[in-house]
Amino acid sequence: MQGIGNDFVMVDAIQHPLEPTGLPTLAQQVNDRKFGIGGDGLILLERGESAPFRMRMFNPDGSESEMCGNGIRCLAKLAREGGHLSGSTLDVETGAGILKLRIEENGHVRVDMGPARFLRGEIGMIGDPAAKFVDEPLTASVSGLRGTAVSMGNPHLVIFVADAMAIDLEKLGPELEHHPDFPKRTNVHFIQVLSRSELRQRTWERGAGITLACGTGACASAAAAWLTGRSDAEVTIHLPGGDLRIEIMPEHGVFMTGPAEAVFTGEYESPN
C-alpha cells in the first residue's frame, strides 16, 4: 500500500500472525527493493490490548518505529478491506499511544495524531529535559543551520530553508539523523514556507533514508511552522509524493488528512 508515495509492505497479522522474534530480519528482507518486495517499511495490523487494533512498523534497516503517519492511514484501509472494520472510525494502538482515525467518504483518512511535543525530554534529546529546542543553531553540524525539534510520538528535526529543492539531502540527511543531540537518531525535514497556508517538505527518515512523504514529519513541520509564527494553524504541505492537510488545534492536538491505497497483493516466500 502507499500513502502519497510512502510505500509499505502491509501484513494482516490478525489473519496471518507472524513470529515476533524474526520481524527485524523480515523487515530488512521484504523492504529490499532489489531482492525483496520493496518498501519504506513493514507494517503489521494486529489486535490491540488497549484498543481494537494495533500497528507495528519496522523500518528497512530492521529497527522498529513508534509511529508512521502515512502508514497508519494505510492500516485503516487495510482493516476495512480485510473485513475487520464495518464502520468508518477506528482506534489504533501505536508506540505513540492510541490514535483515533476516520475514513472519509472520498477515501481519505483523517487521523487525530495527538499533541505535538516540544520538550527535550519528550523528544528524546540530550540536555535539560524541561527545555525546548526552537529555532536554535545546530552545533556539531553544518554551519548556519537552525532547527526546531518536535515529537509526534517519534523524534523530528525541522529546518526552515529558502529553497527545499536545493538541499543536498543525501549528504545532510544521514549527518543530521545521527546528530549527537539525538541519541536514538531523528527524522529530518527541510521546510520551505510558500505562504501562510502552504509549505514544501523534503524528508530524510530515520532508518529509511529519503522518502517521498512522511506523515508524522508533516505534522511536526506544521507544528514547528505554527509555533515559530511562519504559518497559520491549518496548512497544506506539498511533499514529493503528494499533499497532506494538517490542522493544528492547540487544545486538542494535530490532525492529518490524506489518501491511502492498495497497490497490489501477493504472497511472500521468505528466503530463510
Q: Which of 86, 152, 81, 80 is nearest to 114 (CA)?
A: 152
The closest of 128, 125, 132, 188 to 161, measured between CA atoms, is: 188
- Is there a catalytic annotation at residue 219? no
Catalytic residue check, 74: no
Residue of 164, 167, 214, 235 with catalytic role: 214
Q: Which amino acid is at 271?
A: P
| Cβ 44 vs Cβ 18: under 8 Å | yes
- β-sheet bridge partners, residue 243: 238
Residue type, 208: A
> Could you tell me which of 103, 59, 48 has the C-alpha nearest to residue 81?
103
Pairing of β 146-151 and β 136-137: antiparallel
Distance CA 145, CA 122 (A): 22
Q: Which amino acid is at 43?
A: I
Asked if 18 and 24 count as a contact pair (C-beta separation under 8 A), the reply is no
User: Which one of the listed residues 4, 10, 68, 90 is annotated catalytic?
Assistant: 68
Please give the backbone phi and psi of residue 162, each rounded to the nearest 5 degrees, phi first.
-75, -35
Question: Which residue type, as a one-letter code, is found at position 147?
Answer: G
* Enzyme catalytic residues: 68, 214
